[in-house]
Copies of this chain bind each other. A is one copy, B any other.
Amino acid sequence: MPQDFFARHKALLDKAVEAIHSRGYWSAFSEMPSPKAYGETANDDGKRAFENLLNKPFPIDQPGTAGETGSERSPFGIDLGVKYPKPDLDTLLAAVQKAEAQWRNAGPETWSGVSLEILSRLNKRSFEIAYAVMHTSGQAFLMAFQAGGPHAQDRGVEAVAYAWLEMSHIPRTAMWEKPQGKNEPLKMEKRYRIVPRGIGLVIGCCTFPTWNSYPGLFANLATGNAVIVKPHPGAILPLAITVQVAREVLSEAGFDPNVVTLVAHEKGDDVAQKLALRPEIKVIDFTGSPENGVWLERNAHQAQVFTEKAGVNQILIDSTNDFKGMARNIAFSLALYSGQMCTAPQNIYVPKNGIDTPEGHLSFDQVASGIGDAMNKLLGDPARAVEVLGAIQNDGILQRIEQARGLGEVVVDSKPLQHPQFAHACVRTPLILKMDASDPSKFMHEFFGPIAFVIATNDTQHSTTLARQAATKHGAITMSVYSSDQKVLDEVSDVAAEAGVGLSCNLTGGVYVNQSAAYSDFHASGANPAANASLTDTAFVASRFRVAQTRAHV
């Protein structure tokens, strides 16, 4: 019964709505992969479930299947061997439209209830999903569990909460009574109906297949739209499991499971472009390259297009009260998942005359070396290092490291690391270069991956100017500043606001600039070229549905 799902999760929904308003810390799910939270056998069960999926067709029954596809290879060195249905788009879209015709009439309570039930069941499969995320994205296990499991699920719940809140602002009926002087008032009853857009297409990426897809997926589902999930060919499995769970819950709730479907494909296939231009597709959520994102924005005119592309994230160092803490924090930010994050910093601006610290004035070279030393210390133990670095997702990133190496003087070189568990894992430590700011064309574009530049600027003012230019012209999702001068912090805060970048100040402890917390942090702003949307704000949900009204005299 769909109503049961809504009743079951109403308290959770209320808490999520409260959280997006107060924006304090809250989570619907435990982020620790602990037996206490998930059960004594959860890890073993999840690992076995993952392994049981390998080297066979993925258990999903969809209409319009015309062959199979899938050739994922784990960055840790294993061929997954999972085969997915290769769809005939015409047949699949017809089935999705049929399913959507029923789903669109179910109404906000059912949409929310079913969405939250799917998310709850995904949470129960967090270990299985974690292994799937690990062996597609290359994230180390803990990160794959957290970012791919509970944190992604939180982003899904957040989207449902925003959708619910917006829909709940529209009354189902209203009495309109207009005075007519001495005559009887004009009286009308008005009814308002939420009209979903149609079919949503969610285009996933290979580094955060679930985290970046769940907001769009659940924002669509919670506003009555059907969803076609098109994973990156390098990271299909986590989204295939997601679709499987969604279809299971939809069926139980009495709906046609084709409300949520999977379109997997091989690398180089143009199915994404074909789908994106189909008139049936009314909403597109995309995470990926600027080229593909801009193409969608400019060509998929029939759809609302939400994109997260890429940018140049930056750290401005002006001065610090805790040099070691700063260096440690920055090193971790650069090393985490080998910098394969849209939130990872790349350009680190340091005045060429150095900075003030409690240990006295440090030269530019000392600052660069300090960060390098912190990196060497962080990654000194290979067994610990691989749990931070994870593995390199694709060859393009390896090539990018090679291309970057000649751009400056090496502070810390990137080198291969032997993974103690996975003999064929592709692990690389980050490359840190130093250079002066004289040729911005060197560092004014994104080097996605474990590549960072410590850049000597004239002064903090110069750093700020460069940071503004990069964010405004090339986009940025995060910015970070270190200063013991409140005036500098305020100035950089103004620049970040102007450029629409989230700013972190003086991070020296256990929070990293890469991290974005659901319900509290807006991930991307939509105000610079890095993204045209934010995860998640009202604008992300409000245009996924429309209101149709009927009025009649009483």
Instruction: Tell which of B25, B171, B178, B548 touches A503, judged by Cβ atoms closer than 8 Å.
Output: B548
Cβ–Cβ contact A195 & B527, under 8 A? yes
Q: How far is the CB of A194 from chain B (nearest CB, A)?
A: 9
1/0 per residue A262-295: CB within 8 Å of B?
0000000000000000000000000000000000
Give complex CA distance A539, B553 in Å.
Answer: 29
Give complex CA distance A521, B301 in Å.
Answer: 27
Give complex CA distance A167, B206 in Å.
Answer: 34
Total residues of chain A contacting the partner, CB 8 A:
64
Cβ–Cβ contact A548 & B500, under 8 A? yes
Is A137 an interface position by the 8 A CB rule? no
Contacts of A190 in B (CB 8 A): 23, 520-521
Cβ–Cβ contact A24 & B551, under 8 A? no
Q: How far is the CB of A413 from chain B (nearest CB, A)?
A: 32
Is A169 an interface position by the 8 A CB rule? yes
Contacts of A547 in B (CB 8 A): 522, 525, 534, 537
Contacts of A497 in B (CB 8 A): 193, 195, 548, 550
Cβ–Cβ contact B24 & A505, under 8 A? no
1/0 per residue A520-546: CB within 8 Å of B?
111001110000001001110011001
Q: How far is the CB of A460 from chain B (nearest CB, A)?
A: 17
List the number of copies, as a whole number: 2
Cβ–Cβ contact B171 & A23, under 8 A? yes
Is A197 an interface position by the 8 A CB rule? yes
Q: How far is the CB of A111 from chain B (nearest CB, A)?
A: 16
Is A180 an interface position by the 8 A CB rule? yes
Q: Which residues of A are in contact with B by a Cβ distance under 8 Å?
A: 21-25, 166, 169, 171, 174-180, 186, 188, 190-193, 195, 197, 297-298, 301, 489, 493, 496-498, 500-511, 517, 520-522, 525-527, 534, 537-539, 542-543, 546-553
The 6 residue pairs across chains A and B that have the minimum distance between CB atoms: A505-B552, A23-B174, A539-B542, A527-B546, A497-B548, A539-B543
Q: List 29 A-B contacts (CB under 8 A).
A: A21-B169, A23-B192, A24-B177, A25-B178, A174-B520, A176-B517, A176-B520, A180-B510, A188-B511, A190-B521, A191-B493, A195-B525, A197-B527, A297-B301, A298-B301, A493-B550, A496-B550, A497-B548, A501-B548, A502-B549, A502-B550, A503-B550, A504-B552, A506-B553, A534-B546, A534-B547, A538-B538, A538-B542, A539-B543
